[in-house]
Amino acid sequence: MTGAGVRAVLIGLLALGGIVPPAAAADPPPGATSCSGCHAPAGRVAQPSIPPIDGLPASEMVRAMTAFRSSDQPSTVMGRIARGFSDDEIRALAAWLEQKR
């Protein structure tokens, strides 16, 4: 195959990458499955003081987790939980929860 042919195939594959959703998007990121222990799936309320987080905008989830982690947002449990997540893990968790609308 010529250089132009290889280039055309690569461009075609890259174009398809934007169409086909990544398989990993459906898989929960590390730590995500423990959230549902307290935060019920969307449409259900586990406890009135614990909001559902499925479908929450990612930016809001990142803001909340970062505030809990830095103790800017008072909490009983979430501060300890949030300190166990890196920035990248928080962003991955937020993106995954947002798509669960």
Q: Is residue 65 within 8 Å of residue 85, measured between CB atoms?
A: yes
Q: Is residue 36 within 8 Å of residue 100, measured between CB atoms?
A: no
Residue 12: inside a domain: no
Residue 58: inside a domain: yes
User: How many domains does one find in the chain?
Assistant: 1
Within 10 angstroms of residue 56's Cβ, the number of other Cβ atoms is 19
Whether residue 99 has pLDDT greater than 80: yes
Q: How many angstroms separate the CA atoms of 89 and 35, rounded?
A: 13
Residue 14: inside a domain: no
Residue 87: inside a domain: yes
Q: Sorting pLDDT into bands at 50, 70 and 90, what band is 61?
A: very high
Residue 94, domain CATH: 1.10.760.10
Residue 2: inside a domain: no
Residue 3: inside a domain: no
- Enclosing domain of residue 75: 27-98
Is the whole-model pTM more than 0.75? Answer: no
pLDDT digits (tens, 9 = 90+) for 17-56: 544 444 445 689 988 888 888 887 766 766 778 888 999 9
Residue 1: inside a domain: no
Place of tokens 């166990």: 84
Q: How many angstroms separate the CA atoms of 79 and 82, rounded?
A: 5
Q: What is the mean pLDDT of residues 82-94?
A: 96
